[in-house]
Structure 1
């Protein structure tokens, strides 16, 4: 019988009886923090970090796999709002659209959301498009590939090597949806009723060529013609982002899905700030590369930099999803922001955290006059209130004094 370990994001460590092979597998897999208990052989101390979700870990010689479930601190509905806004801030997919609040765990909610989005995308039938095709034919279709014709048939008139655009359902958009559905069907912990829905969606996509596991996803771009697929495709890409993390060195195997809350929070904050800055006359660049030193040897990449109409930086932001210490947030964040402000020539910098004792604090650096702002966002509130807090941060950014 599969052992199930229940953990909570950033909660205190839990002692669990595990075979040493599985304990070492968890420690090596960067899934949770795992350490053997020095006073109790056969027991391991497990602590969840910022990755949430569920995984089943199998190690050679360890018998049955162990399933580790890490619950997020924020409610599932709030987490899916952050995800939905990050993927499409212009009124796109939202967790409430698929009633994710009815699921207590992340993976069932994600699978349910994916099944509902695919169903909505395919409600009018499978999208069709032109797919470049090369073929050997007895009739002329499209254009003749003269080089291949000479190389393969030595000047014979038949058969013909041709190239044409075929109007088909076997296009990138449908292939990505099928890959996401099949990915979720392989994961443990998907409820029976949700799995039944996913099987139905896979049957609708049965004529689409599967994406070979381990290969890059086919490229697609949003257009007016595929607009009904946009939300489903954004969510499918999220499902498939970590699909490669299925095998580890030493014969270890990991099946599951994990959200990195660090990245999710960073994506939400930067996308939301960029959206609320529209109309201010400023432009925002995400993950903007710069250098700290004159020789350009020390690289730095702030999460967001605002530029004025003259192309000169006017504000810098870094998002930090981390637990607050008793005495405040980590000092290292202040030093990092000081470096950003110094290199960019800015009098103020902004750190945005998830939660805190106060919504805003400011620190003036001695002998430099640089002001470092610390903003705290409470993620466990209604989306409208959270976006209002984002707008308040935006106002401070826009009003940052110019040097």
Structure 2
């Protein structure tokens, strides 16, 4: 059974299935006048859910090809490889991610697994590595032998490989994944046999980008979304393997922010994502966290918030709450404009002048149809519009 991420879907569910779906807190499930028929709305995630023998596919409003590309996009991915996105158009999300992740891992590990130095502790009578004096005094004060040591091992058991292994393992546990991909996942896992399990407590911490792991970035980004999609299901109380749900709002925000950061850097702009330390009131009790803050030489130029919502021609004005939020960001930053970035077709930006403050809120729509190159080009054009003619202006004070 399939439900749409956009709008509402009418589905046949048992009472227990409807209750379980509502308990997962990613959609609203409302009973209709017909017994056993339910209305599903306000869907905030896409993927697959298993409910008492029923396989429920949440179909994204974004084309799968674009979705996978946005999830895998990284600074090292200069050229787009169409083969990575050649899966069937009607594939569900776990299948599409499995196909793309395997391809990305194959490209990343073509010359073998990444290796690095990992510190490990050892107790020995033979001194090698570094003597950990603090640990020696704590464990056996006044006793010279055995010696507490710290060794730097050159190994494949690094954070990057642990993340890839965890994503492969998570996908291999998915129910009803096509046999072909299950076999390929099993083969790929063999390569990571000497890599330890990843322990995730809270949000996944990604290794910092470096010259050594740049070729791993597309695979790591895909792996991150796989791990989040499966770990969220466990946190929501579903049974193991019964749900694979991806937060498309986060994917859209990260993709747009990453492209803006890369495209504006050459002009001297800094792009901060999920900016912290912003407060609306003097006492700091009303906190804010704008998605995108563009600054130059330490001064904020403009603020933008991504909205994974359809908006465009015929949609009317943006929701009032979105405009209020953008206005609060602009007033706090002391800038004349703030921007709302929606998902939709090719429509002209709409400007809303707030008379009381002299602030303009601009609503944009970014189409997610087309090729990966077209997606990047649209966001780059958006970056030029956001920085605009204010490159040389000092625009307000720090919101801190």
CA-CA distance at 1:388 after TM superposition: 3.4
Structure 1 residue 162, shift from structure 2 partner:
3.5
> Post-superposition shift, 1:287?
1.9
Give the alignment partner of residue 25 of structure 2, picking from 27, 30, 51. 30
Equivalent residues, number: 387
1:365-384 to 2 correspondences below 5 Å = 365-384=354-373
CA distance in 1, matches of 2:373, 2:154: 43
Secondary structure, aligned partner of 2:50: strand
- 1:61 counterpart residue number: none
Distance 1:218 1:259, change over 3 A: closer
Q: State the SS of the aligned residue for 1:321.
A: strand
Match of 1:387 in 2: 376
Cα 1:125/1:314, change in 2 over 3 Å: closer
Q: Residue in 2 aligned with 1:128?
A: 115
Confirm or deny: 8 A CA contact 1:307 1:315 kept in the other structure: yes
Cα pair 2:26 2:44 within 8 Å, conserved: no
Distance 2:369 2:105 in 1: 28
CA-atom RMSD in angstroms: 3.0
For each residue in 1:130-165, what CA deviation from the matched residue of structure 2 results, as whole angstroms up to 9, or x when unmatched?
Answer: 2222234453332455654894698485x5544322
Contact 1:32 1:49 survives alignment (8 Å): yes
Write the mapping of 1:87-106 to structure 2, written as runs, cut at 5 A. Answer: 88-92=74-78, 94=80, 96-104=82-90, 105-106=92-93
- Classify the secondary structure of the residue corresponding to 1:399: helix
TM-score of the aligned structures, taking structure 2 as reference length: 0.85
- Asked whether the 8 Å contact 1:270–1:304 carries over to 2, the reply is yes
Query: 1:189 matched to which residue of 2?
Result: 176
CA distance in 1, matches of 2:236, 2:327: 40
Tell me whether 1:330 sits opposite 2:319 in the alignment. Answer: yes
Give the whole-Å Cα distance in 2 for the aligned partners of 1:15 and 1:215. 34
Q: Residues 300-357 of structure 1, C-alpha deviation per residue, up to 9 Å, x if partnerless?
A: 2222222232x22221211112134743321222222222222222222222111157
CA–CA distance in 2 between the matches of 1:119 and 1:339?
Answer: 46
Deviates more, 1:25-34 or 1:130-139: 130-139
Gaps of 5+ in 2: 396-400
Give the structure-1-normalised TM-score: 0.84
Query: Does structure 1 residue 10 correspond to structure 2 residue 19?
Result: no
Q: What are the Cα deviations for residues 356-380 of structure 1, in whole angstroms up to 9, with x where unaligned?
A: 5722111222344322211111111
Given candidates 334, 337, 362, the residue that maps to 2:351 is 362
Residue 272 of structure 2: aligned partner? 285
Question: What corresponds to 2:227 in structure 1?
Answer: 240
Which stretches in structure 1 are left out of the alignment for 5+ residues? 58-63
Task: Please give the alpha-carbon distance, in whole angstroms, between the structure 2 residues aligned to 1:210 and 1:268.
Answer: 28
Residue 29 (structure 1) shift: 0.5
**Per-residue deviation, residues 18-60 of structure 1 (Å, max 9, x unmatched):** 2x222111101023322233541x4433346131111224xxx
* Shift in CA distance, 394/228, structure 1 to aligned 2, threshold 3 Å: closer
